[in-house]
Amino acid sequence: MSIPFPVRIQAAVVRAAYALPQGLRRAFAGKAEVRDGQTLALDAQVILKFQRMSKATMVMPGGVGPSRDEMEYARHLVGGRTIASVAVRDVGIPQEQGELAARLYTPGGVGKGSGLLVYVHGGGWVVGSLESHDHVARFLAERGRVRVLSVGYRLAPEHAFPAGLEDVQAALDYAFAKAVDLGADPERIAIGGDSAGGNLAAVTVQQAVRRGGPVPVFQLLLYPVTDLSTKRDSHRHFAETYFLTSDNMDWFADRYAPEPLDRTDPRISPLLAEDLAGLPPTYLSTAGFDPLRDEGEAYAQALREAGVDVYLSRQSDLIHGYANYIGVGHRFAEATAEAAEALRKAVGA
């Protein structure tokens, strides 16, 4: 798909800003921001300055449609150049509701019998798509040396809970059943996701353990949503200003799990599951300037207390959604590369 000319111009402006000497970037971004004992990365301040100038937000005033358009638009600005060494093909996953769209990413030089990551994109269960996270999937495939099966699950509010969860469960079942056809080793299947995708991935793993079927050998959770039943201190510290706001999360939650759904249900809030024993080794990252920070770290602690091997990584100087910004600056890619390295060590070539 060709990129519209105005978008190419704006992307060039963003890249040019990040190419400036550090002093000029600091002058553009403004005084260093410190909150809750953390200093925001200059790379993050620059992208926030652009977002404030353009008045872009995670939720557009026009509602669902414009919000989805905004996320698709943003990937052209901050996703970076396409990693062409990763081969891509569309995959249809059969299920009761009709064929589920997915996309298989295979990095160059990775042969048959590789590890496979079932990847679930973020976007508050409402926005995001295979396209919006194409650059993230390519990055994880290339750096992690694994195949990546990215899942195009149904979105709210047209398809509220549990539709998206059912789709991710179907995708995981498909990955195990068709691993050889996908070029993967069924003993080296991982699952992961970012934000709301991390929520769906975490719940899917819990459900897999409870069902007694095959369970992924690793989970990769980037700044996941883990508890919609309450708000912790990070919601207060970062309620606004840092792209994802506390009000944004309320808007997403109201569309994904509207009343009278019980948000203490562990299928919505995986942190509240009674038993977390038996879950696979986990890499879980949080962003310091993120309303979701504290609930993500609470989930890591709960996993540890249940005997799960967890590596918790707080990217204290970054904002929510940092994996989507890997095409600008260096700090976003650096943080995402850490996650990819954990994936490589767990199931990669």
Helix H or strand E segment including 313: strand 310-319
Across 53-79, average pLDDT? 84
Please give the structure tokens belonging to residue 306.
Answer: 């249940």
75, 110, 136 — which closes off a domain?
75
Residue-wise pLDDT for 223-258, tens only, equals 999 999 999 999 999 999 999 999 999 999 999 999
Residue-wise pLDDT for 199-224, tens only, equals 999 999 999 999 998 999 999 999 99
Domain that holds residue 55: 5-75
* Residue 2's pLDDT band (cuts 50, 70, 90): low
Please state whether the predicted TM-score (pTM) of the whole model is above 0.85. yes
75, 100, 123 — which closes off a domain?
75
Residues 295 and 312 both lie in one domain: yes
Residue 46 near residue 293 (C-beta atoms within 8 A): no
Alpha-carbon distances of 152 from 2, 89, 102, 156, 335, rounded to whole Å: 21, 13, 5, 13, 25
Structure-model confidence comparison of residues 290 and 6, the more confident one: 290
Residues 157 and 302 both lie in one domain: yes
Among left, alpha and beta (phi > 0; psi -120 to 50; other), residue 37 is: left
* Residue 56's pLDDT band (cuts 50, 70, 90): low
How much is the pLDDT for 74?
Answer: 87
Residue-wise pLDDT for 259-299, tens only, equals 999 999 999 999 999 999 999 999 999 999 999 999 999 99
* Average pLDDT over the chain, rounded to an integer: 95
Residues 218 and 141 both lie in one domain: yes
38, 59, 75 — which closes off a domain?
75
CA 73 – CA 64 distance, rounded (Å): 14
CA 230 – CA 27 distance, rounded (Å): 38
How much is the pLDDT for 109?
Answer: 95
Residues 96 and 64 both lie in one domain: no
* Residue 5's pLDDT band (cuts 50, 70, 90): low
For the chain, how many structural domains are there in total? 2
Residue 192 near residue 120 (C-beta atoms within 8 A): yes
Residues 54 and 125 both lie in one domain: no
Residues 126 and 151 both lie in one domain: yes
173 has a pLDDT exceeding 70: yes
Q: Look up the CATH number of the domain holding residue 131.
A: 3.40.50.1820
Residues 224 and 297 both lie in one domain: yes
Please give the structure tokens belonging to residue 88.
Answer: 């891509």
Residues 94 and 61 both lie in one domain: no
Residues 177 and 301 both lie in one domain: yes
Residues 43 and 93 both lie in one domain: no
Alpha-carbon distances of 227 from 203, 204, 233, 266, rounded to whole Å: 11, 15, 13, 8
How much is the pLDDT for 294?
Answer: 98
Question: Which of 54-58, 111-115, 167-171, 253-257 has the least mean pLDDT?
Answer: 54-58
Please give the structure tokens belonging to residue 137.
Answer: 């999937």
How much is the pLDDT for 247?
Answer: 94
Give the residue numbers marked as catalytic: 195, 290, 320
Residues 71 and 89 both lie in one domain: no
4 has a pLDDT exceeding 70: no
Residues 30 and 59 both lie in one domain: yes
